[in-house]
Amino acid sequence: VSFGYQEVSPEEKTRRVGAVFSSVAKKYDVMNDAMSAGLHRVWKDRFVRRVKPRPGEAILDMAGGTGDIAFRMARHGAQVTVSDINQDMLDVGMERAARRGIEGLGWSCQNAEELTFADRSFDAYTIAFGIRNVTRIDAALAEAFRVLRFGGRFFCLEFSTTQWPGFKEAYDAYSHHLVPRLGQMIAGDAESYRYLIESIRRFPPMPRFEQMIREAGFTRTKVEPILGGLVAIHSGWKA
Ligand code: SAM
């Protein structure tokens, strides 16, 4: 499997992704604002509007990291479980939740590829900027399908490839040159941000990823490109 520019074993990829997020955990939120000029907030708001969390429903926010998506959904009264493979990211999230007085969230360290939750435990499953870091994406999608109840919704927010000419070139130049420098300046770690950019470039294009979601068993799949597909919201339904 690919880790950035390199080919590594699946175990090695999981280990290295772990190291990336442990390294950036403390600066993760500051870096998101710096790298996207605050835009990630707009994308996350839009994503949560699509999810339409309802009071009392059980939602699994997978690869939930420091809680950005979960906090937004909890505001609507949903019972959110934040789950991530990396305890360092969850620790930062728990501290943030405590600081902001956000209560009622569950926190659970889990690998998206093999969840310990029972079948049909959730009304919705969300994963934001997480799936491209998962080693076996098909396994994660199968697990998402398994833990959703019938009628459950799947939502994924992820970087993709913008189809807008001009913008694409500008973004490529920005991401390859400036992002690792920002990573070095703010988090003292250029290499992790090189990986994060390369993993975006290698992620399957929108129609292919939609196909993978269908192959996991979901129906009524949809793709909503943002900024020409720089970012995309994929969704599906467990019939
Ligand atoms: N969802 C949060 C957000 O939007 O700010 C965090 C996104 S962060 C870019 C990606 C997260 O995916 C990291 O916290 C990382 O630990 C997590 N991750 C990577 N591989 C994973 C896996 N196999 N299972 C669960 N989480 C994983």
ipTM for the complex shown? 0.99
Q: Which residue has the CA at smallest separation from atom 16 of ligand 1?
A: 86
Atom of ligand 1 nearest to the CA of 112: 24
Asked if residues 7 and 190 have their Cβ atoms less than 8 Å apart, the reply is no
End-to-end distance of the chain based on CA atoms, in angstroms?
Answer: 32
Q: Which two tokens stand for residue 153?
A: 């919704």
Q: What is the CATH number of the domain that holds 135?
A: 3.40.50.150
What is the CB neighbour count within 10 angstroms for residue 205? 13
Number of domains in the chain: 1
Greatest pairwise CA separation for the chain in angstroms: 47
Asked if residues 202 and 135 have their Cβ atoms less than 8 Å apart, the reply is no
Ligand 1 centre from 14 Cα, in Å? 11
For residue 133 and ligand 1, the question of a CB distance below 6 A is answered with: yes
Query: Which of 14, 15, 45, 86 should be mutated for ligand 1, with most atoms under 8 A from CB?
Result: 86
Containing structural domain, residue 181: 2-237
**Strand ranges in the chain using DSSP code E only, listed in sequence order:** 2-3, 6-7, 58-62, 79-84, 106-109, 122-128, 148-159, 219-226, 231-237
With vertex at residue 81, the alpha carbon angle to CA 207 and CA 226, rounded to the nearest 5 degrees, is: 30
Ligand 1 centre from 127 Cα, in Å? 8
pLDDT tens for the chain, residues 1 to 239? 999 888 999 999 999 999 999 999 999 999 999 999 999 999 999 999 999 999 999 999 999 999 999 999 999 999 999 999 999 999 999 999 999 999 889 999 999 999 999 999 999 999 999 999 999 999 999 999 999 999 999 999 999 999 998 999 999 999 999 999 999 999 999 999 999 999 999 999 999 999 999 999 999 999 999 999 999 999 999 99
Give the 3-state secondary structure of residue 60: strand
